[in-house]
A and B are shown apart, each in its own frame.
Chain A
Amino acid sequence: MRSWAFQAGFEDRLLQSLRGDYRVLAPVRGTDGVVRLQPVRSWAELSPAGLPLIPLKKVVFPPHDVLWTLMEYEYREPAPSSVPVALVGIAPCDLYALAYLDLVFADDPHYQRRRQNLLLIGSNCRPTPECFCPPRREPPPFDLFLAADRLWVGSAWGAGLLTALQAELSSPGDLPLPAEITDGQQQVPENLEQLFTASAGLPLWREVGERCVSCGACSAVCPTCYCYEMSDEALPDGRVARRREWDNCFFRNHALVAGGQNFRPTRAERLRFRFEHKMLGFGALRGISACVGCGRCARACPVDIDISAVLAALAGGNKP
């Protein structure tokens, strides 16, 4: 893969060159300690350790999205923003997660409209003890990727950004991406599908399900959880808005259907469903793991439910 070495200060000049044309967002640690994707001006503001609490899905698939409004007989779709968004300093796992969402929302115009306007500048991460990303065959999607003092280009868009900054780059070399990006932190058990099927009757799910408070935090912070609910809001003055809002398979209503039937009435069933969906996917995506191993769900869970510990328990390890 083509890559360049760059000089000190290059990152800031890259940010500067983006600022006129893009809304530049990067993970920044707030005074309260929470890392959020927010506007930045200099590279020093970026939080090198720590993923943003809410991942990039909030940019392409916002938690509350108005799809259209109606006033009397006037139908309106919200005007798409013409300012492209540059996401800077994005860790590999979050890039892989976006690749998964790209598959899920391949035919979704609302997602695609924002996705096409999204410039991705990845950077190397610092794995935490909760990280358990699996090894990868392919590099993640990105336009540019920065690691230490080297830069990789992943698209024509990314290459185009460099023309103004050529003076600060070495002549191109042919170095692979740093191994830590694709090597991963942990192997996923190979026979997961059988393990899941065989686990249906185990007390494990009931035990963990009893602890779960259905707060939804794990799914809200997960970079690949994409379930949503649609609702129409009507106001007395005649305005109507159709909204799409994040939903969650831990909520009782999520699998509730007409007639009051519920496909997964108990917490234990919902827990098992979420883990199975994360690890094995469904439909055409079956076999592609949705879990990128970022560890967010375990960090956000008030009762310490940890998907990697549950997986280990399935594979014959200790109780989670």
Chain B
Amino acid sequence: MKKLRLAYVRFTSCCGCQLTLLNCEEQLAAIDAVAEVVAFDMASSRPDDGGPLDAVLVEGSISRPEELVELLRLRRRAEILVAVGACALTGGVNVLAHGDRIELCEGVYGECAREKLTFPPQPLCRFVRVDLQVAGCPPERSEHLQLLGALARGGLPALPEYAVCMECRQRENLCLLLEAKQPCLGPVTRAGCNALCPSFGAICEGCRGPVTEANRAEESRLLLGLGLSEREVRARLERFSGASHEDP
């Protein structure tokens, strides 16, 4: 089998997704055997040779012109482009900052912020074709491994596209929304975490982003019915899904 030429690249993000892959210690040797890692900031200082790629995994959202240029370059270089993690899929928590950008940036980076051109963080799909989305903040280790295993065989993994509730019910949890009257986002959030939070009695905060055809109107009604204000409902629904999603 020919070795897969692979890059794991990050833009505006926290590196959490990349680290999740590095945390798969017991499979790292196996990954090395099937893939030539051309670029992977968190794992290697080897310079990128700039050649064609079989696949690129992209973490993070796009918030600077340089990032956009690099993203377009990667799209041209790579056969398959995979968006990994909430930031890459929807902008993730990066989108939460509201207010004057210059002020916000100066608050963090001081004077030099004025020289840096930035724009509100955008998901990758705004600019390029994305062949697969791996949801999560960060995605599960198992999803990283399924992704690399499938890529090594020339395919893409089948990741769930339904809501967290399905996994939650299969685990026979008490429904926090229905029975505990808590603002759980399970019905509108993409599954794949095996309903991690509700299984420990904590509501789903929606970190895996909206499920296909999320019924946000009805979820809003449910949350309003629990006594949340309209502002709270919007804030909850937007936390991991960007502010610009429209109801289907």
Interface set of A (CB-CB < 8 Å, partner B) = 32-34, 36, 53-54, 63-64, 210-217, 220-221, 231-240, 246, 248, 251-253, 267, 300, 302-303
Interface set of B (CB-CB < 8 Å, partner A) = 27, 30-31, 33-35, 145-146, 148-150, 152-153, 155, 157-158, 161-163, 165-166, 169-170, 172-175, 177-179, 186-188, 211-213, 215, 217-219, 222
- Chain A residues positioned under 8 Å from B162 (CB to CB): 214, 216, 248, 251, 253
A236 and B152: CB pair below 8 A? Answer: yes
Name the residue in A232, A236, A248, A302 with the highest tally of chain B Cβ atoms < 10 Å from its Cβ: A236
- Chain B residues positioned under 8 Å from A231 (CB to CB): 158
B153 and A237: CB pair below 8 A? Answer: no
Chain B nearest CB, measured from A216 CB (Å): 4
The answer to whether A34 and B31 touch (CB under 8 A), given A213-B219, A215-B187, A234-B157, is no
Known: A248-B166, A251-B162. 15 other contacts (CB 8 A): A33-B174, A54-B172, A214-B211, A215-B166, A215-B186, A217-B166, A220-B170, A236-B149, A239-B149, A246-B166, A246-B170, A252-B161, A252-B212, A253-B162, A300-B178
- Chain A residues positioned under 8 Å from B27 (CB to CB): 235-237
Question: CA–CA, A64 to B192, complex, Å?
Answer: 13
- Chain A residues positioned under 8 Å from B173 (CB to CB): 34
Q: Identify the 6 closest CB pairs spanning chains A and B, nearest first.
A: A237-B30, A234-B149, A215-B165, A216-B166, A231-B158, A213-B187
- Chain B residues positioned under 8 Å from A215 (CB to CB): 163, 165-166, 186-187
B166 and A220: CB pair below 8 A? Answer: yes
Interchain residue pairs with CB less than 8 A apart (17): A32-B174, A33-B174, A34-B172, A212-B218, A213-B187, A214-B213, A216-B169, A220-B169, A233-B149, A234-B146, A234-B153, A236-B31, A236-B145, A251-B162, A253-B212, A302-B222, A303-B218
- Chain A residues positioned under 8 Å from B222 (CB to CB): 302-303
B152 and A302: CB pair below 8 A? Answer: no
B174 and A217: CB pair below 8 A? Answer: no
Q: Given B150, B169, B212, B218, which contacts A217 in the complex, CB threshold below 8 Å?
A: B169
B174 and A302: CB pair below 8 A? Answer: no
B218 and A211: CB pair below 8 A? Answer: yes
- Chain B residues positioned under 8 Å from A236 (CB to CB): 27, 30-31, 33-35, 145, 148-149, 152
Chain A nearest CB, measured from B184 CB (Å): 9
B157 and A233: CB pair below 8 A? Answer: yes
- Chain A residues positioned under 8 Å from B155 (CB to CB): 234
- Chain A residues positioned under 8 Å from B177 (CB to CB): 302
Question: CA–CA, A253 to B31, complex, Å?
Answer: 31
- Chain A residues positioned under 8 Å from B187 (CB to CB): 213-215, 302
Chain A nearest CB, measured from B217 CB (Å): 8
Chain A nearest CB, measured from B233 CB (Å): 15
B172 and A217: CB pair below 8 A? Answer: no
A235 and B145: CB pair below 8 A? Answer: yes
A63 and B170: CB pair below 8 A? Answer: yes
A300 and B213: CB pair below 8 A? Answer: no
Q: Which residue of B lies closest to A220 (CB)?
A: B169
- Chain A residues positioned under 8 Å from B152 (CB to CB): 234, 236
A213 and B170: CB pair below 8 A? Answer: no
Question: CA–CA, A220 to B211, complex, Å?
Answer: 17
B169 and A213: CB pair below 8 A? Answer: no
A34 and B166: CB pair below 8 A? Answer: no
Q: Which residue of B lies closest to A64 (CB)?
A: B170
- Chain B residues positioned under 8 Å from A212 (CB to CB): 215, 218
- Chain A residues positioned under 8 Å from B150 (CB to CB): 234
The answer to whether A217 and B165 touch (CB under 8 A), given A234-B146, A234-B152, A303-B218, is yes
- Chain A residues positioned under 8 Å from B217 (CB to CB): 210
Chain A nearest CB, measured from B50 CB (Å): 25
- Chain B residues positioned under 8 Å from A36 (CB to CB): 172
Question: CA–CA, A248 to B166, complex, Å?
Answer: 9
- Chain A residues positioned under 8 Å from B30 (CB to CB): 235-238
Question: CA–CA, A239 to B157, complex, Å?
Answer: 14
Q: Which residue of B lies closest to A52 (CB)?
A: B172
Q: Which residue of A lies closest to B189 (CB)?
A: A215
Chain A nearest CB, measured from B174 CB (Å): 4
Question: CA–CA, A206 to B146, complex, Å?
Answer: 38
The answer to whether A216 and B146 touch (CB under 8 A), given A54-B172, A63-B170, is no
- Chain A residues positioned under 8 Å from B188 (CB to CB): 213
Q: Given A214, A240, A253, which contacts B163 in the complex, CB threshold below 8 Å?
A: A214
Q: Which residue of A lies closest to B219 (CB)?
A: A213
Chain B nearest CB, measured from A80 CB (Å): 22
Chain B nearest CB, measured from A267 CB (Å): 8
Question: CA–CA, A267 to B211, complex, Å?
Answer: 14
- Chain A residues positioned under 8 Å from B153 (CB to CB): 234
Q: Which residue of B lies closest to A265 (CB)?
A: B213
Question: CA–CA, A238 to B153, complex, Å?
Answer: 9
